[in-house]
Amino acid sequence: MVIGDDIKKMFASFAPETHKAMDRYTSFRVGGPADLLVLPQNIEQVICLVKTAKKIELPITIIGGGTNVLISDKGIRGLVMVLTRLKQGIEQTTPLINTGGDSPDRIYLTALAGESLGHICRFAADSGLAGLAWAAGIPGTIGGAVMMNAGAFGSDMSQIVTQIEVLDLTTLETVVLPRNSLHFSYRKLALENSIVLKVKLGLTRADAETVKDEFYRNLKTKQSTQPVSQASAGCFFKNPPGSKSAGFLIEQAGMKKARCNGAMVSDLHANFIVNHGNACAKDILDLAGQVKKSVYEKFGINLKEEVKTIGN
Ligand SMILES: Cc1cc2nc3c(=O)[nH]c(=O)nc-3n(C[C@H](O)[C@H](O)[C@H](O)COP(=O)(O)OP(=O)(O)OC[C@H]3O[C@@H](n4cnc5c(N)ncnc54)[C@H](O)[C@@H]3O)c2cc1C
């Protein structure tokens, strides 16, 4: 889509970039151009951008840290909002007295959707707050983590989210959704047509050393079992039901180290596809297709993608 001067003018106050390559906004380091790219810095800007795009029927795509997405080589049409600048620190609150049910050890952390999950996780570890140490080393934003119901070491976001604030893209209203109205499942929050703006987490005051130990132990495990320094989007496939992980099945199907041009199945963790520097999205998708085929032929199991493919 060609973005004309009239449209550029409408978005001028948000310093938009046109035809902007998206590779630097994803951990896979691939992705074609966004027609119109904007990085809003506060909730008011997000709302204003959405209203402007809706007025002229521009499609809207939301990217957080870009650590669980594969953006197509042809890029993304319409307005792309990268939310990594939508942050204003972490607010820590205690329960109101006499509200009933809340433990006195309960502490709430609230952050805008663009705050990095790593920052919140480290803040919790440094403050002696238990409940988030499992997230040590998971990249991306808190908004993306909620949408993906990110998880590790047997825990996930669904266990600590107490409420989120969203912008409903149909009504253009902001709505606060309490935990009991949110439907989380494995690596998924069922939330259509909305932008997560703010997240409130419920953690527990605990022994500071114990929390820190758990945080560093998890970080070390992650660093030694996953190719964290290479370009990837984390686990490419969801673990299928049953006791065998996707990584085990891929390895047993002989696909460890399989390549398609610059894309390769990691030799450290077979459920990671890594970009050796010159892969394009098609290489990664072709390799993922070969992996799925091999696993299906050997085990009759149809792996489902965890990574979200976005764009044309
Ligand atoms: C090295 C590495 C290790 C990883 N390890 C783990 C792990 O242990 N466990 C795990 O679960 N994941 C892991 N991941 C995957 C990824 O980091 C998580 O899923 C992360 O929570 C995604 O956050 P993000 O901000 O990058 O989301 P993005 O990748 O930007 O977006 C993911 C999806 O959420 C949507 N989205 C993002 N923000 C918003 C918002 N504010 N409102 C509405 N929709 C939004 C996007 O449109 C997209 O569909 C890993 C990734 C890497 C690269």
Helical (H) or strand (E) element with 119: helix 117-126
How far apart are the C-alpha atoms of 41 and 23, rounded to whole Å? Answer: 21
Could you confirm whether domain 5-82 is CATH 3.50.50.60?
Answer: no
The whole-number pLDDT of residue 2 equals 78
Which one, of 30, 21, 111, 122, lies nearest residue 67 by Cα?
30
Indicate whether 38 pLDDT > 70.
yes
Span 91-225: which CATH code?
A: 3.30.465.10
Question: Ligand 1 atom 21: the closest Cα is on which residue?
Answer: 145
Q: Tell me the three state secondary structure of residue 164.
A: strand
pLDDT in tens, 4-25: 888 989 999 999 999 999 999 9
Residues of the chain with CATH 3.30.43.10: 5-82
Yes or no: say if 40 and 86 are a contact pair by the CB < 8 Å rule. Answer: yes
The whole-number pLDDT of residue 100 equals 58
Residues of the chain with CATH 3.30.465.10: 91-225
pLDDT in tens, 218-269: 999 999 999 999 999 999 999 999 989 999 999 999 999 999 999 999 999 9
Indicate whether 131 pLDDT > 70.
yes
Q: What is the mean pLDDT of residues 161-174?
A: 97
pLDDT band with cut points at 50, 70 and 90 for residue 185: very high
The whole-number pLDDT of residue 277 equals 87
pLDDT in tens, 102-124: 677 899 999 999 999 999 999 99
Indicate if 235 belongs to the active site: yes
Question: Ligand 1 atom 2: the closest Cα is on which residue?
Answer: 234
Q: Which CATH class is domain 246-310?
A: alpha beta
How far apart are the C-alpha atoms of 242 and 258, rounded to whole Å? Answer: 25
Residues of the chain with CATH 3.90.78.10: 246-310
Ligand 1 atom closest to the Cα of residue 197 is 41
All residues at 6 or more sequence positions from 90 whose CB lies less than 8 Å from its CB, including other chains:
109, 110, 111, 115, 119, 120, 123
How far apart are the C-alpha atoms of 312 and 309, rounded to whole Å? Answer: 9
Percent of the chain surpassing pLDDT 70: 98
86 CB near ligand 1 (under 6 Å)? no
Q: Tell me the three state secondary structure of residue 285.
A: helix
> Can you read off the two tokens belonging to residue 30?
């691939």
118 CB near ligand 1 (under 6 Å)? no
Indicate if 192 belongs to the active site: no
The whole-number pLDDT of residue 35 equals 96
The whole-number pLDDT of residue 101 equals 62
